[in-house]
C-alpha cells in the first residue's frame, strides 16, 4: 500500500509556545502524547509516514532564548533551536570546530538546513546523526530542562539505543555546550552516503591534540555502525602519548574498525561498512593531525 506523503492524516492539537515555562508545563501534562516541533524536517516526515502519531504538537521555534551561538573563554554554547545553516555560517565554528562544521556542511539541501536544528538532529537519537560524532569527540555536554529543574549530562550518556535517548517525556533539550578548542588541536569529520546530502552509511569524527610530534590526546567517534554513535577507545589509546606516523595511523585505523559493530540495512552492508571504516579513519586522522599543525 502506498502512503500519501503530502498530507498529515492523523489529527493533533497544535500548541505554539511563547516561553519556556509554557512549553515545560505542556510537556509535563502531555508527556508521551506530545512531540516538540522546531524545524520539522524529521518529525513531519515521520508523521506523514505514520511512524509517529502525536496527539499534541508543541512548536518552540519562536522562543528566542533557545536559538543562539555563544563563544566565551571556556565554551562554545549552541541553543537547541539554532538552525544547521546558522552553525554552518558561523566563522568561529568553521575556523576552530572543523568537525562540527564539516558535519553540518555535509547534511541535506540548503532549504532543509535553513529549517532543521541541531536539537532536532540530536532529538531523534539516530545512530546516523551527523552532529553526534563531532559532539562526542569534543566532549560536549547537554543542558536539559523540565518543570523539576535543569540538569546537565555528558553527551556520552545521551544515546541509549536507536531512537532512544536520555530525555524523559517531560524534558526539553535547551543547549549544547562544547569546551573551547585549545592550541595545537585539530579535528575532522568524514561521511559516506549513497548520494550527496544523504543519511550516512557511515560517518567518523576525530579530535586530537599535539605536542611536537606526539599525539597527547585523541578522541574518535563513529556513526551508523552500532545501535548508537560510539567512541572507539582502543584506537584512541593506541595513539595517545605516541609519536604519530603513517604506521601508527594504519594500526589505529585497523583497531577502530575492529571495535565497531555495523549491521546490514537498506543503506549499506555490514562488510562494506567494516571495510571503509578503516580507510575513512585513516583520512580523518591525517586531516585532524595536519589541522593541529602536525607533519607526517
Q: In this structure, are 169 and 234 located in the same domain?
A: no
What is the per-residue pLDDT across 138-184, written as a single tens digit (0 to 9) for each?
999 999 999 999 999 999 999 999 999 999 999 999 999 999 998 99
Give me the mean pLDDT over the 238-263 stretch: 96
Residue 45 pLDDT grade (very low, low, confident, very high; cuts 50, 70, 90): confident
Domain that holds residue 51: 13-59
Q: Which of 124, 156, 179 corresponds to the end of one domain?
A: 179
Residue 1 pLDDT grade (very low, low, confident, very high; cuts 50, 70, 90): very low
Q: In this structure, are 172 and 208 located in the same domain?
A: no
Which pLDDT score, from 0 to 100, does residue 219 have? 98
* pLDDT over 50 (residue 134): yes
What gap in Å lies between CA 48 and CA 2, rounded to an integer?
A: 12
Q: In this structure, are 169 and 198 located in the same domain?
A: no
Q: In this structure, are 170 and 78 located in the same domain?
A: yes
Domain count across the chain? 3
Supply 124's cell numbers: 531523534
Give me the mean pLDDT over the 107-135 stretch: 93
Q: In this structure, are 208 and 256 located in the same domain?
A: yes
Q: Which of 164, 179, 194 corresponds to the end of one domain?
A: 179
* Mean of all residue pLDDT scores within the chain: 93
CATH number of the domain that residue 146 is part of? 3.30.465.10
* pLDDT over 70 (residue 190): yes
Give me the mean pLDDT over the 131-143 stretch: 98
Q: In this structure, are 146 and 219 located in the same domain?
A: no
Which pLDDT score, from 0 to 100, does residue 41 have? 84
Which pLDDT score, from 0 to 100, does residue 195 have? 63
What is the per-residue pLDDT across 3-27, written as a single tens digit (0 to 9) for each?
555 666 678 999 999 999 999 999 9
Residue 199 pLDDT grade (very low, low, confident, very high; cuts 50, 70, 90): confident
53 part of a folded domain: yes
64 part of a folded domain: no
Q: In this structure, are 194 and 166 located in the same domain?
A: no
Please report where in the chains the cell 582502543 appears, as a residue. 234
Residue 268 pLDDT grade (very low, low, confident, very high; cuts 50, 70, 90): confident
Q: In this structure, are 74 and 173 located in the same domain?
A: yes
Q: In this structure, are 28 and 100 located in the same domain?
A: no
Residue 48 pLDDT grade (very low, low, confident, very high; cuts 50, 70, 90): confident
Q: In this structure, are 156 and 78 located in the same domain?
A: yes
pTM over cut 0.85: yes
Which pLDDT score, from 0 to 100, does residue 55 have? 95
* pLDDT over 90 (residue 293): yes
Q: In this structure, are 127 and 50 located in the same domain?
A: no
Amino acid at each position: 500500500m502506498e502512503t500519501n506523503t503530502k498530507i498529515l492524516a492523523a489529527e493533533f492539537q497544535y500548541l505554539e509556545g511563547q516561553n519556556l515555562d509554557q512549553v515545560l508545563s505542556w510537556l509535563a501534562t502531555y508527556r508521551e502524547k506530545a512531540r516538540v516541533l522546531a524545524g520539522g524536517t524529521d518529525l513531519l516526515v515521520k508523521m506523514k509516514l505514520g511512524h509517529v502519531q502525536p496527539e499534541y504538537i508543541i512548536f518552540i521555534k519562536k522562543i528566542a532564548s533557545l536559538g543562539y551561538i555563544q563563544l566565551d573563554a571556556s565554551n562554545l554554547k549552541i541553543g537547541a533551536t539554532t538552525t544547521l545553516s546558522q552553525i554552518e555560517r558561523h566563522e568561529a565554528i568553521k575556523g576552530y570546530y572543523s568537525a562540527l562544521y564539516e558535519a553540518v556542511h555535509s547534511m541535506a539541501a540548503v532549504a532543509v538546513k535553513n529549517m532543521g536544528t541541531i536539537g532536532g538532529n540530536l532529538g531523534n537519537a539516530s545512530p546516523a546523526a551527523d552532529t553526534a560524532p563531532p559532539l562526542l569527540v569534543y566532549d560536549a555536554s547537554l543542558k536539559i530542562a523540565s518543570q523539576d529543574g535543569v540538569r546537565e549530562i555528558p553527551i556520552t550518556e545521551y544515546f541509549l539505543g536507536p531512537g532512544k535517548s536520555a530525555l524523559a517525556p517531560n524534558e526539553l533539550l535547551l543547549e549544547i555546550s562544547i569546551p573551547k578548542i585549545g592550541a595545537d588541536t585539530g579535528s575532522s569529520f568524514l561521511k559516506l552516503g549513497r548520494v550527496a546530502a544523504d543519511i550516512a552509511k557511515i560517518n567518523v569524527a576525530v579530535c586530537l591534540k599535539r605536542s611536537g610530534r606526539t599525539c597527547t590526546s585523541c578522541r574518535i567517534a563513529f556513526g551508523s555502525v552500532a545501535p548508537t554513535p560510539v567512541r572507539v577507545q582502543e584506537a584512541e589509546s593506541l595513539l595517545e602519548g605516541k609519536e604519530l606516523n603513517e604506521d601508527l595511523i594504519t594500526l589505529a585505523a585497523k583497531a577502530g574498525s575492529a571495535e565497531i559493530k555495523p549491521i546490514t540495512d537498506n543503506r549499506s552492508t555490514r562488510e562494506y561498512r567494516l571495510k571503509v571504516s578503516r580507510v575513512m579513519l585513516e583520512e580523518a586522522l591525517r586531516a585532524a593531525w595536519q589541522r593541529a599543525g602536525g607533519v607526517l
